[in-house]
Amino acid sequence: MQDNTFLVEGLVSFTLAIMLLFAGKRLAQRYEPLGRYSIPEPVLGGFLCAAVTAVLFYILDIEVVFDLEVRDVLLLYFFAGIGLKSDIRNLVKGGRPLLILLVLASVFIVLQNLLSMGVASGFGLDPRAGLMLGSISLTGGVGTTLAWAPLFTEQLGIENAMELGIASNTVGLIAACCIGGPIANYLIRRHALTPSRDSDLEVGVPATSADISAPISHYDILWAWMWLNMTLMLGHGFNLLLLNSGITLPSFVSCLLAGIVIRNLLQAAIGSQRIKHWSGAGQGLALISDICLGMFLVMALMGLQLWQLGGVLVFVVTALTLQITLTILYTVLLVFRCMGRNYEASVIAAGFGGIALGSTATAIVNMTAVTQRYGAAHQAFIIVPLVCGFFIDIVNALIISLMSGV
């Protein structure tokens, strides 16, 4: 401990994350409404830890800092697994829905920024300060916040830009984790949608063991692990090639694309029927992906420093309350209808909260919670990561630049 800061080493942080994942599962099993509304188990465990560290800070003046270096590697494994389970034929089918979702997300960015700028004006602030509580911190996430905040401080004179952005991102991440599942459940029941009941999930295994077609052997896990490592290596190669060409992409997007390439080259070489015979490896992929995603989200929420909300609490809470309301209404009334008013559309709606308020990982964990209960939604797991992780970042940067003048 140094200067009231308590550093938790990497191995201890990782072990604690596993324990919190168990705690989240136990909470979901014990309190039936949490399971009924598909609140993700990692969210429960991670937020429990964030709440405890906040109490330690306010009562004992101890700041707990976790070493979470392994967190980003877990995200790469997760998206590599998504790519390896992606059939290019489903991706081609997703062309038009992908474009529709991108347009919907782009329009939402503009609405999100207009709302936050209006709230900032209402509090007597520079309207452009509101952008830090709009698409910069919400659609963009913490990476976009860290990139734009110094520019807002230096060029626009908004001294607390970083604090506003981090606080907004914190509240948005929590909200995104909590609204996705309930939105999908509402839509499925309200419109009497027919779930797929397809047990071949992209992530995880079905909620009921009766839906699992065959047991998973340790060779299935090893087989899946080998292909995941090969995908990460190819993804790293893609990233280096793109960097040398002057193009910067998030590493998880490169791993997603690498997985799609490997899966479909294999399918072309040995045939789709042979691929189907590797169902055990497919279940192994889904299981490893589920563990990695759960651990990533737990560790992301463990690292939240809720006390940073203190100085701008009223402004942030007002803006985020309106942003969350806008997200729910836009998702239910527009996104669901435009994406087809079917089960796939309800799963995409569950993920839209992650696009609008949280991160790609949040979107996927929301969709995973829904599909583990109701069945697979293959197209949703292709188009949402592509929109979240690639296309929307480009659109968001252009809109932020136009609306801020930076």
Percent of the chain residues topping a pLDDT of 90: 22
**Can you give the C-alpha Rg of the chain in angstroms?**
21
Alpha carbon of residue 62 to chain centroid: 29
Q: Which pLDDT score is estimated for 390?
A: 62
Judge whether residue 99 has pLDDT over 70. yes
231, amino acid identity: T
141-150, 287-296, 314-323: segment of lowest average pLDDT: 141-150
% helix, strand, coil for the chain, step of 5: 75, 0, 20
365, amino acid identity: V
Please name the residue ranges forming H helices in 37-140: 41-60, 71-84, 88-93, 95-122
pTM > 0.75: yes or no: no
pLDDT band at 154 (very low <50, low <70, confident <90, very high): confident
Nearest Cα neighbor of 109 from 405, 406, 400 is 400
What is the three-class DSSP state of 246? coil
Q: Which pLDDT score is estimated for 113?
A: 95
Judge whether residue 18 has pLDDT over 70. yes
8 A C-beta contact, residue 140 and residue 393? yes
Residue-range domain boundaries for the chain: 70-404
71 burial type by CB count under 10 A (0-12 exposed, 13-18 middle, 19+ buried): buried
Top-confidence residue, 185 or 90: 185
pLDDT band at 212 (very low <50, low <70, confident <90, very high): very low
Nearest Cα neighbor of 86 from 295, 255, 218 is 255
For the residues 105-109, what does the mean pLDDT come to?
A: 94
Q: Which pLDDT score is estimated for 386?
A: 76
46 burial type by CB count under 10 A (0-12 exposed, 13-18 middle, 19+ buried): buried
Residue-wise pLDDT for 360-389, tens only, equals 778 888 888 888 888 888 788 888 877 876
What is the three-class DSSP state of 66? strand
> Residue 333 and residue 339: Cα distance in Å, rounded?
11
Residue-wise pLDDT for 273-300, tens only, equals 555 555 556 778 878 888 887 888 788 7
Residue-wise pLDDT for 214-271, tens only, equals 566 777 788 888 889 999 999 999 889 888 887 766 677 788 788 888 888 887 777 6
Judge whether residue 88 has pLDDT over 60. yes
